[in-house]
Amino acid sequence: MKNNKPTTSDSLVLDKQALKLADKDPTTRRVLEGILAQDVEHANELKDWLDL
Predicted structure pTM score: 0.62
Rg over CA atoms, the chain: 13
DSSP annotation of 4: -
19 CB neighbour count, 10 Å cutoff: 15
Distance CA 25, CA 44 (A): 28
- C-alpha 29, offset from chain centre: 14
| 1-52 residue pLDDT tens | 455 555 667 777 777 787 777 788 889 888 888 988 998 899 899 889 988 7
